[in-house]
Amino acid sequence: MKFFIDTANLDQIKEAHDLGILDGVTTNPSLMAKEGIKGHDAVMNHYKTICEIVDGDVSAEVTTTDFKSMVEEGQKLAKIHNNIVVKVPMIHDGVKAMKWFTDNGIPTNCTLVFSAGQAILAAKAGAKYVSPFIGRIDDSCWEGIDLIYQIRQIYNVQGYDTQILAASIRNSNHIVKCAEGGADVVTSPLEPMLGLLKHPLTDIGLAKFMDDAKKFA
Ligand code: G3P
């Protein structure tokens, strides 16, 4: 399973990259706004900077919702860097735009996916990635992880090669469950990623080893 970081924060991207386990980055308009990035040029430059830090796919989301505008915007985003993946919402014109991007060699990430039916449409449109939002499903009293299992089953049975990119990760256990359920990629904020490191028995065991090491130093 690949690890992407779900942020537009450059320090956090660098920290995950320095750990040596980062395969890519996903962003969205909310994450860009959170970093105070304003204006067309600043947004384009920010994506370019991210692509220079991480040698892997970087999802850049369109901010329009009609076919013509999404295609125009996606083409501009794709020109920033070879690793840009155009993120397109799962809406009527979004499906059309994804098919257009597929036919024209531009990789896409289908975002805002909350059902298996939407994941089938994303695969049919040739999306490179489909992004089920598991945390937001949990927020609405459903089991987000179940959707990962269901999409995995459908994609296996049908032979779709769209990669399942589990998004809206809220905790470290989500990451573990996504790995178990067959996600190809998980995109997570930094904290749940670093949370995978933690176990109290590791800390206790290390303290004892360090203590004993002093005895023969
Ligand atoms: O990649 C989509 C993700 O950013 C959504 O996460 O926490 O806003 O539901 P969240």
Helices (H), the chain: 10-19, 29-34, 40-53, 67-78, 92-103, 116-124, 134-139, 144-158, 172-181, 190-195, 200-215
Asked whether the predicted pLDDT for residue 128 surpasses 90, the reply is yes
Q: What pLDDT, in 10s, does the model give residues 7-43?
A: 999 999 999 999 999 999 999 999 999 999 999 999 9
Active site residue 87: yes
For residue 83, the SS3 value is coil
Q: Are 109 and 128 in contact (CB under 8 A)?
A: yes
The C-alpha atoms of residue 175 and residue 183 are separated, in whole angstroms, by: 9
- CA–centroid distance, 104 to ligand 1, in Å, is 28
141 C-beta neighbours (distance < 10 Å), count: 6
Q: Are 113 and 122 in contact (CB under 8 A)?
A: yes
Determine the residue of 57, 136, 178, 185 to mutate for testing ligand 1's pocket, defined as the one with the most ligand atoms within 8 A of the Cβ atom.
136
Atom 8 (ligand 1) nearest CA = 168
For residue 110, the SS3 value is strand
Asked whether the predicted pLDDT for residue 217 surpasses 90, the reply is no
Token digits of residue 26: 């996903």
Q: Is the dihedral of CA 28, 31, 35, 39 positive or negative?
A: positive
pLDDT for residue 41: 95
Q: What pLDDT, in 10s, does the model give residues 157-181?
A: 999 999 999 999 999 999 999 999 9
Q: Phi and psi (nearest 5°) for 81?
A: -165, 150
